[in-house]
Chains A and B, each alone.
Chain A
Amino acid sequence: MEYLILFLPLIGAIISGFFGNKIGDRSSEILTSLFTTTAAILSIIIFYNVIFKGYENNIVLFKWIYSGTLDVNWSIKIDALSSVMLVVVTFVSSLVHIYSIGYMSHDPNKPRFMCYLSLFTFSMLALVTADNFLQLFFGWEGVGLCSYLLIGFWFKKETANNAAIKAFLVNRVGDFGLALGVFLIFYYFGTVNFDVVFDQIPQIDKTSINFLGVNFNAVDLICLLLFIGAMGKSAQIFLHTWLPDAMEGPTPVSALIHAATMVTAGVFLVVRCSPIYEYSELILAFITIIGMTTAIFAASIALVQDDIKKIIAYSTCSQLGYMFFAAGVGAYNVAMFHLFTHAFFKALLFLGSGSVIHSFKDEQNINFMGGVWKKLPVTYSLMIVGTLALTGFPFLSGFYSKDAIIESAYLSGSNVGYYAATIGILTALLTSIYSWRLIFKTFHGTYENKDIKIDEIHESPLVMIVPLFILALGAIGSGYSFKELFIGYNSSTNFWGNSIFFLEPLSQNHPPKWFILLTPILVVLTIPFSFILFVKNKDFLTNFISTNQPLYQFLKNKWYFDELYDFLFVRFFKFIGKFFWKKIDGAVIDKFGPDGISNVIKFLSNKAVKFQTGYVYQYAFVMLIGFSILLTILIVK
């Protein structure tokens, strides 16, 4: 069964990639969708077995790399953690496959698209089922590659190509950290297998290490380096710049890769490595700070963006920040819970916005939409469901997971925790505002599009609506149904077992009542508030913007990160590269090296030529002088 889950998507990818032209568009679409759906059903069966029978397994496929003490296998590791990821990945992936049949119906390269999607699914599965850091790294870079290919899928768009490269390179910076972390683990333990490493972590608890001139605690350093990898993949602040640009790819890709699965790999990594992180308070605090900073930073940018997908992308960034600060305060299970519910409602929002974009014939700017909720009733109502779930409206999925995060931050009892809880509530408020802004500007108010007549707007085909509907069910129910399992009092023993390690048992306390009620009340109140702000009384907002231009521009330009990086890295490296090439290779090495030598030789031989005068008396004279010098030397001796 595990084999099928892992390899069905790969087989699908190979068939539609290499034989797509022979078997036709339709067959490759059906084949890949069928394969991933089968994988999804099997994953759910495994998940069921894990929940009720405590099923665990570690299948070794074959040897991969071994060298000295390094011994790495290709493997499929099934435990509670990976079974959750299996369900998330295959479930969303199969829906996205099906949805793509409708969304990409006008595209000439369907088999290629399906191939990439399936290949991505395979890499992601290889990542989550790894039993060692190296296979995880394989999946890690593999999903990065697929992300690169899919962002640049519309290869004629210059912006798409640039975004693809940017995504790959920024991720590589993160991978650089991850790789160093793996090297360091290998340095200490001589192995990279999870179980062995996790068992031995307490042994190096107090070891200190000098790394690049700075003294670190060894565990801290490992955690920090691994976390840099997680920051890259999960688009945390400083390494987030690729995610908004990644929206250049087709929308189903954004839903699958840049919302539900790949970007959560960083969270998965931290949770998987909980046995390491639990010994590093310092880095956990660091993760909390990075997480909450990202949460509020991305939410602040999302407030003013006009591209429907970019808003959701920043929202994803912000929600990932939530997951990280949950992990940072030690509530790994809560982080996983939010990851789980987020996959449903964020994929729903993306696919919903895809449906909107599809209806508007590839228009993405929400300023050119509006007033179409009657035209797109199904999409509209499903998007509302997604928004409610995202903002944490009571009793929808986001409510359970997000509030649990804020509560566990509060309960952690540290200063960082209180601070994180405050930021968390503030971010929840912002989340609610930008989400409703999106809904109101897209579906309410007046129709603003000049290119397309309002009558041409029509609902998307059934093949796109059905996946939305299934995701909506998840967005509504996944919180309530799985709450006990993921974050209940006994979840760590009943469900997570060995897959998540808690150094201290989970807190059983409750935060005060007012605290629990605060977030939901705020979230509910923002709905009418946003309605007034974005539909009824737009003048207020326009005035506010014009009086606060610097702030508005700062947010609009995404805190100027892109400009800064362009100046610091892109231009700098290009300049240095050119300098090395022209000035050092050309003007120094070659000039004094080979060209220099050949010039010297030419010069000398020109001189030497002049000796050959051809006059016998000159030769005789030289001989005479030489002979006398020789004679003198002999005599003196």
Chain B
Amino acid sequence: MNIPILSSLILLPTIGAIFIFFSRSKNEKYNSSKYVALFITIANFFLSIYLWLIFDQSTSDFQFVETREWIPGFINYKVGVDGISILFIILTTFITPICVISVNKTIKSRLKDFLISILLLETLMIGVFCSLDLVIFYLFFEGGLIPMFLIIGIWGGERRVYSAFKFFLFTLLGSVLMLVAIISIYWLTGTTDVEKLYEIGIDAKYQNLLWLAFFSSFAVKTPMWPVHTWLPDAHVEAPTAGSVILAAILLKMAGYGFIRFSIGLFPIGSEYFVPLVYILSLIAIIYTSLVALMQEDMKKLIAYSSVAHMGFVTLGIFTITQQGLEGSIFQMVSHGLVSAALFLCVGVVYERMHTRLIKDYGGLVSIMPKYAIVFMIFALGSLSLPGTSGFIGEFLILMGAFKKNFLVATVASVGVILGAAYILWLYKRVIFGKIKNQEVTKMLDLNKHEILILWSLAVPIIFFGFYPEPLINTMEVSINNLIDTYNSNLSNNIVMSK
């Protein structure tokens, strides 16, 4: 088959964006551009599902590879997917339409521009997950900054400018180092093609430095402690749809980057820096869980919880065990669903009350019973109760970590207790108890749109909790291959140095 399916996935949202840009809409209220965006993103979702169906799970090779010459002899536009990246693509195409539906009321001004930003962002995010050339990857990866910067800076809350710049500053500083590293890789090897780089490998003596350069970029995006402070601010100020994309997908680009590039390209560097990642991950898990416990702002609480959950991800990735890596990817997908849902839940009440402070709520269960149910499901997903997708990810990660280091796994397991503490306490203060604020009684329960988007997130959270096989099957062979290559690279290097 010759249809360039990946390029179609990447370009379709952009085409939609261009279409919206040129369409005229006088009436701000009944804006048909929303339906265009919705149609495009849903079509893209089905296209990605189709991709998943025809995807061959039995091989770890990159599939649907497309190569086009861009700058002759230097950069090729090269895309392709394997069992790891395809899951992130589906996550992206699944979350984006949900964002589009959720802008229903939240975005009051310049709806068209907002939709264009979201669509462009989707293009860039899908691009990140399927690029097989470092330069292309870098362009997509950093390009994502711009629409996100705009989304926070234009449609954000009161301190949006401060947050947008903080976001930009942090992420850009890390990225510059990655750019330098990419250029030096080109100097060293004469190519930026990921597949070729996997074959020829990178000289052991440069790996540590290069690893650090990539790490600085990914660590900021993950975000890892101590470069996490941009995330709570960005989330607090971002509009709901922005928070959803940020938490569900943008953070995952870093986790993906760790797997694809840090581990794939620099096995020696990775092995050398494993203790560093362990320590930072543990700090992230424990420290931010405790910070989350004390938050008074719902969005900040969930933002901090994201840092803690991503701490599990980085921990799992660098255990470089089958359970750890599969758990990490599972956790990323699961966290993508759960955190998106939690931010949407905050959005639901924020729209009605225009406050994010926990103390302004209380007793919602008798006013909004439907809301209470879905919120409970997401809270349980977040505290990784068995039977939700969160459990599978975290449990596998901890199993993998336990194989490598008892102390690390034990400390990380404490995070599971704390994770239950902050989310249940949040739930209790918002949903249960007596109604303290009379404004609350005027709130309406979920409308049809909200029911649709929240349940479409809740169903996969439960489904994959009981039946994770589809996801694990997809990634299994690729992960196997990744670990095999990693170990053989390491042992080759030891032989060589002797």
Contact = CB atoms under 8 A, between A and B. Distances in A.
A169 B416 CA distance: 10
B432 to A, nearest CB: 4
Nearest to B326: A67
Contacts of B431: 155
Given A574-B294, A580-B291, A581-B294, A594 B230 contact: yes
8 contacts: A62-B467, A63-B469, A64-B467, A70-B399, A580-B290, A590-B229, A593-B170, A593-B229
Interface of B: 165-166, 169-170, 226-227, 229-230, 287, 290-295, 321-323, 326-327, 363, 365, 380, 385-387, 392, 395-396, 398-399, 402-403, 406-407, 409-410, 413-414, 416-418, 420-421, 424-425, 428, 431-434, 466-469, 472, 476
Given A64-B466, A176-B416, A577-B291, A155 B432 contact: yes
A25 B399 CA distance: 44
A137 B166 CA distance: 42
Interface of A: 62-68, 70, 74, 134, 137-138, 140-142, 145, 148, 152, 155-156, 158, 161-162, 164-165, 168-169, 172-173, 175-176, 179-180, 183-184, 186-187, 211-212, 573-574, 576-578, 580-581, 584-585, 589-590, 593-594, 597-598
Given A67-B323, A578-B294, A168 B387 contact: no
Contact of A70 (B287, B291, B323, B409): B323
B251 to A, nearest CB: 18
A335 B321 CA distance: 40
Contacts of A187: 402-403
A158 to B, nearest CB: 6
B229 A183 contact: no
Contacts of B476: 67
A162 B386 CA distance: 23
Contact of B420 (A67, A137, A168): A168
A406 B433 CA distance: 46
Contacts of B421: 165, 169, 573
A142 B428 contact: no
Given A155-B431, A155-B432, A581-B295, 14 more contacts: A64-B466, A67-B326, A134-B386, A156-B363, A165-B424, A168-B420, A172-B416, A173-B417, A180-B413, A186-B402, A212-B406, A580-B291, A581-B294, A594-B169
B406 A211 contact: yes
Contact of A156 (B169, B230, B410, B434): B434
Given A156-B434, A183-B402, A573-B290, A67 B472 contact: yes
Contact of A597 (B169, B292, B380, B472): B169
Counting chain B CB atoms within 10 Å of each CB, the highest count among A184, A187, A574 belongs to A187
A141 B294 contact: no
Contacts of A142: 385-387
A244 to B, nearest CB: 20
A191 to B, nearest CB: 11
Contact of A179 (B292, B321, B398): B398
A169 B424 CA distance: 9
Contacts of B472: 65-67
A172 B417 contact: yes
A580 B283 CA distance: 11
A172 B432 CA distance: 21
A176 B433 CA distance: 28
Given A152-B432, A598-B165, A169 B417 contact: yes
A155 B229 contact: no
A589 B399 CA distance: 32
B428 A145 contact: no
Nearest to B401: A183
A148 B385 CA distance: 13
A616 B227 CA distance: 45
Closest 10 CB pairs of A and B: A68-B322, A577-B290, A138-B386, A183-B402, A577-B294, A155-B432, A581-B291, A577-B293, A172-B417, A67-B326
A179 B416 contact: yes
Nearest to B414: A176
B304 to A, nearest CB: 8
A67 B327 contact: yes
Contacts of A169: 417, 420-421, 424
A145 B467 CA distance: 20
Contacts of B323: 67-68, 70
Contacts of A594: 166, 169-170, 229-230
A577 B476 CA distance: 38
Nearest to A186: B399
A1 to B, nearest CB: 22
B344 to A, nearest CB: 21
A70 B325 CA distance: 14
A577 B291 CA distance: 4
Given A168-B420, A183-B398, A573 B293 contact: yes
A63 to B, nearest CB: 6
Nearest to A183: B402
Contacts of A590: 229
Nearest to B384: A141
Contacts of B230: 594
Contacts of B326: 67-68
Given A68-B321, A70-B399, A573-B290, A176 B417 contact: yes
Given A573-B290, A577-B293, A577-B294, A172 B420 contact: yes
A576 B414 CA distance: 15
Contacts of B468: 64-65
Contacts of A173: 417
A161 B362 CA distance: 12
Nearest to B330: A67
A580 B410 CA distance: 21
Contacts of A148: 424
A65 B396 contact: yes
